[in-house]
A and B are shown apart, each in its own frame.
Chain A
Amino acid sequence: METKGEESSPTDGDKMLEHDSISNSTTHSKTTGLPRKRFYRARAHSNPLSDSHFPVPISPAHFENDCTAHFPKFFPNGSKKIEFADIGCGFGGLLISLATLFPDTLMIGMELRDKVTEYVKERILALRASSPGRYDNVSVVRTNSMKYIPNYFEKAQLTKMFFLFPDPHFKEKNHRRRVISPHLLDEYAYVLKVGGIIYTISDVEELGAWMTGCLDDHELFEPVTEEELAADPVVELLSTATEEGQKVARNEGQTFRAVYRRIASSHAR
């Protein structure tokens, strides 16, 4: 098998590194130690409707026990909880950027495709090895977030949720597979703190309009104002940090963004 290849990720320059613990296989770049995408090719889509055959934590309390393995530098003495969730994190571009922007915040990517999850896992391990002290706050799980969000997070645990370039599912009969939908927003509202932000972006105009529509109609979300968006450093990352976003930028495509805030319900007010 060929072991020399192009760089899979531009994030860490040409630093020569030795970390045999991780790159014992031929799937990692020799120069950067990062996993190479060609060995983690996956199908572009995975059926969110099918029965899942991967382990799912019974409850958020059970998942918290797993967190020792996900964030070894923060546990067990820390009582920190995960605050950011990148739903459908893909190859993890956003997470990697966020990890250094919010070094004290725990964040997790959720991805259904197992090979892609495997890639992100290796990528994080490689980055942790190459830049000690950084990237200890980021991890990834393979799961179907449309089905199991409540198994991972408690009520009002999260402060940010990301849905970047989700599958558009154009056909009307497949609209129920969309990751933003009126009923799924109930669950996202449940795990978000009041004041927490939900970020969505798509390069498909129709889906962008759909996501804006769903969020507009939901009683527990309100749009974030333009001024606030301009001041939020995360907003720019939506279109620049992810692999999908970079692809759109290369093709000079348009993106459609919807950023909303979780508000208190009228019952509570």
Chain B
Amino acid sequence: MEEHDIDESEQKLEAEVAPALIAVHPDQKFVSVAVGSDLRVFNLQHGSAAQLSDETGGHKDSIRSIRFSKSGNLFVSGGDDKLVRVWDTDSWRCVYSVVSEKRVTSLAVSGDDKFITFADKFGAVYVVDIGDYNEENLAPVDKKAVPILSHYCSIITRLDFSPDGQYIISADRDFKIRVTLFSKECLKGAHEIQCFCLGHTEFVSCLAFFSSCDYGQSLLVSGSGDSTVRLWDYASGSLLDTCGLGTKAGLLNSNQKEEDVLPAVIDLCETSDRSLVAAAIQSLQGIMLLRCNFSARTLTIAKVVSVAGETFIPTSIAAASSVPLLWMVMGASSLSATDSALLARVRVVSGFGTDHSESVVPESLVIEDKEIPGGEPLLQALQGKLTIGEEAFSTAAEAVKTAMRNLLIKKQYSAERRDFRKRGRNDKKNQP
């Protein structure tokens, strides 16, 4: 009996659901959505879907990370098929293909477009030198990746460069954020750790930055499974402020059943003017906008933007650096073995003005489908279809939540179960 129960629970873990992801070109020339192994790109200048040309046939398994480089010239994608693809955003040709030993969890491109870094599920971070990129060369080039740093046996959840490009920052499921010096000689490894940002009490899921010209510095913000967003001085590792979003998100869903686990913060994203950071939280239908007070070094909730009319809980959010819009996607790869349909729903938040002084509450709101740049063709291209059944939403939300929990939260076994497993161990079997 017991054995049966265990088998069942372990089978459930097998079905891994990947959340849908969204990325926006810095000048909003393109919007890309990844769902399952499907990579969709919409060209907003032409008003049509971009045709990706990839001789190797695209991704074979769930995509876990997509990103435009700061310049917008490159786009990177990677995931469970252990491949990293680098695309030229002019031609949407795959210009580099890098094989990883393990599944890829996160990607980042250095500010000068010279290095691609990616993290794998075993805690290693690799760098690929693409400084020799040549547009004339049409054939995709296979590149070797060099390991530069590692989080011992952890899963790295997010990788990013600090805005000044001086540090590479990696977050993991063991509550850690590591800040490491990143130099031009990074191919020899990134050995010098600047600091660790320690304070989260669950997996760290996402990173973003607040930058202020007035103060000439930027601060790191991180979201976590502990339902908080924290503000850090990433040069020293000091925790400056902690903002609990869980209770606030919980209040909005008071009609839902009491949750035993606090809702995790799943994504963070700077708004175009960099004065606010948007946060997506499990079970919150919408986003929260956070503001940082640089002089007081505090973090506060500026506003909650909710989505009315449908159960829309974003799985990924993104923004261009020059257009005051915030893009959100909700969706998941195959929800069950029998149903291979991919779900993706795109929504947009507008109303990020230029004036973001302390007292002004941004008048942001979720805009209607017809007002979205690119209109119906964009939705058709990125969602796959225009209308989505309400039922699919709640299934997707639940599936994404479970998958994240299974992947990143340590399994707690009862004492009985641990004993049971010990009995089955090989070294005990041979004993009388």
Interface residues of A in 215-236 (CB under 8 A from B): 218-220
Whether the Cβ atoms of B191 and A220 lie closer than 8 Å is yes
B193 interface hit (Cβ, 8 Å): yes
**Cα of A90 to Cα of B193 in the assembled complex, Å:** 28
Q: Which residues of A contact B201 (CB under 8 A)?
A: 58
A150 interface hit (Cβ, 8 Å): yes
Interface residues of B in 195-215 (CB under 8 A from A): 195-196, 198-201
Query: Which of B148-156, B250-258, B379-387, B399-407 lines the interface with chain A?
Result: B148-156
Whether the Cβ atoms of B191 and A219 lie closer than 8 Å is yes
Among B124, B192, B196, contact of A220 (Cβ-Cβ < 8 Å): B192
A8 interface hit (Cβ, 8 Å): no
Whether the Cβ atoms of B411 and A150 lie closer than 8 Å is no
Query: Which of A29-37, A159-167, A182-190 lines the interface with chain B?
Result: A182-190
Whether the Cβ atoms of A48 and B198 lie closer than 8 Å is no
Whether the Cβ atoms of A190 and B193 lie closer than 8 Å is yes
Q: Which residues of B contact A267 (CB under 8 A)?
A: 181, 183, 192
Whether the Cβ atoms of A147 and B147 lie closer than 8 Å is no
A187/B193 contact (C-beta < 8 A), A146-B153, A147-B154, A219-B188 known: yes
Q: What size tier do the contact residues of chain B reach?
A: 20 to 34
Q: Which residues of B contact A186 (CB under 8 A)?
A: 149-150, 180, 189-193
**Cα of A146 to Cα of B174 in the assembled complex, Å:** 12
B176 interface hit (Cβ, 8 Å): yes
**Cα of A187 to Cα of B149 in the assembled complex, Å:** 10
**Cα of A48 to Cα of B152 in the assembled complex, Å:** 10
**What's the nearest-Cβ distance from chain B to residue A113, in Å?**
15
Q: Which residues of A contact B237 (CB under 8 A)?
A: 155
Whether the Cβ atoms of B193 and A146 lie closer than 8 Å is no
Q: Which residues of A contact B189 (CB under 8 A)?
A: 182, 186, 219
Whether the Cβ atoms of A184 and B193 lie closer than 8 Å is no
Whether the Cβ atoms of A150 and B176 lie closer than 8 Å is yes
Among A53, A58, A176, A218, contact of B198 (Cβ-Cβ < 8 Å): A58
B356 interface hit (Cβ, 8 Å): no
A1 interface hit (Cβ, 8 Å): no
Interface of A is mostly: helix
Whether the Cβ atoms of B153 and A59 lie closer than 8 Å is no
B115 interface hit (Cβ, 8 Å): no
Whether the Cβ atoms of A49 and B153 lie closer than 8 Å is yes
Whether the Cβ atoms of A151 and B181 lie closer than 8 Å is no
**What's the nearest-Cβ distance from chain A to residue B330, in Å?**
30
B410 interface hit (Cβ, 8 Å): yes
Interface residues of A in 157-206 (CB under 8 A from B): 176, 182-187, 189-190
The chain A residue with its CB closest to the CB of B193 is A190
Q: Which residues of B contact A148 (CB under 8 A)?
A: 174
Q: Which residues of B contact A185 (CB under 8 A)?
A: 191
A25 interface hit (Cβ, 8 Å): no
B294 interface hit (Cβ, 8 Å): no
Q: Which residues of A contact B191 (CB under 8 A)?
A: 185-186, 189, 218-220, 265
The chain B residue with its CB closest to the CB of A218 is B191
What 10 A-B pairs are tightest by C-beta distance, nearest first?
Answer: A183-B150, A59-B198, A190-B193, A150-B196, A186-B191, A51-B410, A146-B152, A265-B192, A49-B153, A147-B152
5 A/B residue pairs, CB under 8 Å, sorted by A: A150-B196, A155-B237, A184-B150, A185-B191, A189-B191
For the complex with contacts A58-B199, A58-B200, A183-B147, 19 further pairs of A-B residues with Cβ separation under 8 Å are A51-B410, A51-B411, A58-B175, A59-B199, A147-B154, A150-B176, A150-B198, A176-B153, A183-B124, A183-B150, A186-B150, A186-B193, A187-B152, A187-B193, A189-B193, A219-B188, A220-B192, A265-B192, A267-B192
Listed in ascending order, the chain A residues whose CB lies under 8 Å from chain B are 48-49, 51, 53, 58-60, 146-148, 150-151, 155, 176, 182-187, 189-190, 218-220, 265, 267
